[in-house]
Structure 1
């Protein structure tokens, strides 16, 4: 009797999103208890960044509440200068965030490579990040960990805030007191432990604890040869220890108006900033893969349990630990197509016009733009159009070729 060939189960694109909906591509980042890789939606052919977090490690590091909080906050956020969440789901081992894919790398990468950025580039990024912060603060959200690692660029050079792992809601009536964030970027009111609010997000990096709290502000002797007087004034404003005087920190939305009217930002066209119509003064090199290629090698050679789509097991969640049960119950599925929101990546796509179809129907109402892939020296890596496979080993012959340029380790 001949062997019976088992055909793969059809994918239900009308049901809750899961890992079977995506083609797994390159691994591009690694965090404390999760990784980041590029994925492509099998139906729409859209590219995203998939951040996946191992549940057991999450429990071990006492980070369950952070993951659930990040999931809830990202559902509230939709802004052109934020790395927005598009889908969320889980399986037996991992929690998944599907996020906007940023191909331009993070600011840490570019600062380390270039040494410094021109003043007009810094001004442009602060304007875009300021727009995102104004949105977050209007929705009573504090990021608490703004730093170069958490600012990602898209392929056109626009800046986006990412990593909401320690972000929280705030209230003017009840100040926050938790010491959270990266020490080198903490505002002095966090270290003072007398309570703080959204003003901490407007603090610009100085030095560590004593310098943040006590040292006089000093600029290099040649500062005025590298930065305009208006730029130095803006920096002094961002570094004011008194949050009531700090630039952009006036309450009730007046802070962002103050920022926009500052002389240093006179060259910014605020009317077209959020639509990304302006050409960024720095555009990342699309021919380079600006992320650590060792993440991919590590995934191929060292990973005992590589990521793949798996059917969920039938089990009684009451038998799970309290933390595992909390993730099962509170890390709920999310699909941005059901939220009637605009997608800012690509910038012109209205996602509410995209309708889910069956696996045999048309892929999407949006045309796909073919791109090319930079393998960063990995000559045998199966990322060209002819070799792209799904998790069942089936070749995706009609998939668009994708461009892998700059991705950050943290990011996505």
Structure 2
């Protein structure tokens, strides 16, 4: 009598979401706190990006509070130009975020691949990013790490803000003072620790606009000290070919985003001009903001669907170097939370 064939256990799609609900596809990225791979929901067949963070590594890097905070913030957000959270769960080893899948790659990848972008393309992306930032700020959330690496394109070429690892809630009554973000994109008031709120995102957006149009950042230095001095003190310089790459209106907009006096910075401005000031700026004249929000404006740059718009080495590393490859595992039953460290218990509970 032959042995009975082992049948896979039935998946309960009506219960809590877990990794068994997804097919694990290729790896597409990694960061300081985790890795990202494409997954497909087994029931709906919808493709997503799965960000997973090893709990033990998270504790070792003292990043537990960041991960908990990121999940809480993402639960508040749903916007056309943000990488939105769709599911969140955990197993004994990892925390998982299931997010909108962006197949167009990040703007850093495209900058590295083809260099500076046409001004019209950058202005289009800026209009979408302005709407996203205005939405986040209306929720009293400041991102604090706006840069090309954290701006993803979907397959049609629309931009989406991602990575809320150091995003926080802000209050005008109690300004933030923590030094957070990527140095090259930090606003002067972050470096001086004199207090800030949402205006720092508009500065970072100005740095991104300059970098996309000219292929290099406006403030540079060989060391962190030199870079800090450049951000704090140096005049904004334009490349010799500025007239060929950027209109006078575009230059004025970038200069207004990179206003060192945060009270007069475009997007913030004392008195609360905010997005309305951006909408009436000459650079954005002619933009149909309602159509942009509805994604009815055709993006001037469309990622090549025949090419992988991400670094293929992530997949190779997962195949060749990963000692403990990701797979769905059942949770241990009857675990006593009292036996866990404070950090591990925090992740379990929150």
User: TM-score band, normalised by the shorter chain?
Assistant: over 0.9
Deviation >6 Å, runs of 4+: none
| Shift in Å, 1:266 | 1.1
1:219 matches 2:238: yes
What residue number does 1:77 align with? 77
What residue number does 1:90 align with? 90
Contact 1:138–1:253 (CA under 8 A) maintained in structure 2: no
Contact 1:155–1:286 (CA under 8 A) maintained in structure 2: yes
SS at match of 2:264: coil
Counterparts of 1:44-63 in structure 2 under 5 Å? Answer: 44-63=44-63
For residue 347 of structure 2, the aligned residue among 327, 352, 357 is 327
What residue number does 2:310 align with? 291
What residue number does 1:163 align with? 163
| Shift in Å, 1:3 | 2.4
1:100 matches 2:119: no
Tell me, in whole angstroms, the C-alpha distance in 2 between the residues paired with 1:116 and 1:267. Answer: 23
Tell me, in whole angstroms, the C-alpha distance in 1 between the residues paired with 2:343 and 2:152. Answer: 31
Greater RCO, 1 or 2 (C-alpha within 8 Å, sep 6+): 1
Change (3 A) 1:251 1:240: closer
1:246 matches 2:278: no
Change (3 A) 1:257 1:18: same
Which deviations, in whole Å up to 9, do the C-alpha atoms of 1:335-389 show, x marking residues without a partner? xxxxxxxxxxxxxxxxxxxxxxxxxxxxxxxxxxxxxxxxxxxxxxxxxxxxxxx
What residue number does 2:213 align with? none
Tell me, in whole angstroms, the C-alpha distance in 2 between the residues paired with 1:227 and 1:291. Answer: 28
SS at match of 1:244: helix
Counterparts of 1:154-303 in structure 2 under 5 Å? Answer: 154-203=154-203, 204-205=206-207, 206-207=218-219, 208-250=227-269, 254-303=273-322
SS at match of 1:312: coil
**How many aligned residue pairs are there?**
330
Tell me, in whole angstroms, the C-alpha distance in 2 between the residues paired with 1:259 and 1:25. Answer: 41
Tell me, in whole angstroms, the C-alpha distance in 2 between the residues paired with 1:292 and 1:117. Answer: 20
| Shift in Å, 1:250 | 3.0
- TM-score of the pair, normalised by structure 1: 0.79
Tell me, in whole angstroms, the C-alpha distance in 2 between the residues paired with 1:133 and 1:150. Answer: 13
Change (3 A) 1:40 1:268: same
| Shift in Å, 1:91 | 0.3
Structure having the larger proportion of residues in helix = 2
| Shift in Å, 1:4 | 3.4
Which deviations, in whole Å up to 9, do the C-alpha atoms of 1:174-227 show, x marking residues without a partner? 000000000000000000111111000000223221111111122123312221
Contact 1:35–1:51 (CA under 8 A) maintained in structure 2: yes
Which deviations, in whole Å up to 9, do the C-alpha atoms of 1:20-68 show, x marking residues without a partner? 0000001111122311000000111100000000000000000000000
Tell me, in whole angstroms, the C-alpha distance in 1 between the residues paired with 2:249 and 2:302. Answer: 24
Tell me, in whole angstroms, the C-alpha distance in 2 between the residues paired with 1:253 and 1:45. Answer: 44
- TM-score of the pair, normalised by structure 2: 0.92
SS at match of 2:309: coil
| Shift in Å, 1:251 | 6.1
Tell me, in whole angstroms, the C-alpha distance in 2 between the residues paired with 1:42 and 1:222. Answer: 52
Change (3 A) 1:37 1:251: farther
Tell me, in whole angstroms, the C-alpha distance in 2 between the residues paired with 1:287 and 1:261. Answer: 39
| Shift in Å, 1:303 | 1.2
Of stretches 181-190 and 247-256 in structure 1, the one that deviates more from structure 2 is: 247-256
What residue number does 1:25 align with? 25
Tell me, in whole angstroms, the C-alpha distance in 1 between the residues paired with 2:243 and 2:26. Answer: 44
SS at match of 1:313: coil
Tell me, in whole angstroms, the C-alpha distance in 2 between the residues paired with 1:121 and 1:267. Answer: 14
Contact 2:146–2:185 (CA under 8 A) maintained in structure 1: yes
RMSD: 1.1
Which deviations, in whole Å up to 9, do the C-alpha atoms of 1:155-178 show, x marking residues without a partner? 110001000000000000000000
Contact 1:51–1:97 (CA under 8 A) maintained in structure 2: yes
Tell me, in whole angstroms, the C-alpha distance in 1 between the residues paired with 2:272 and 2:27. Answer: 40
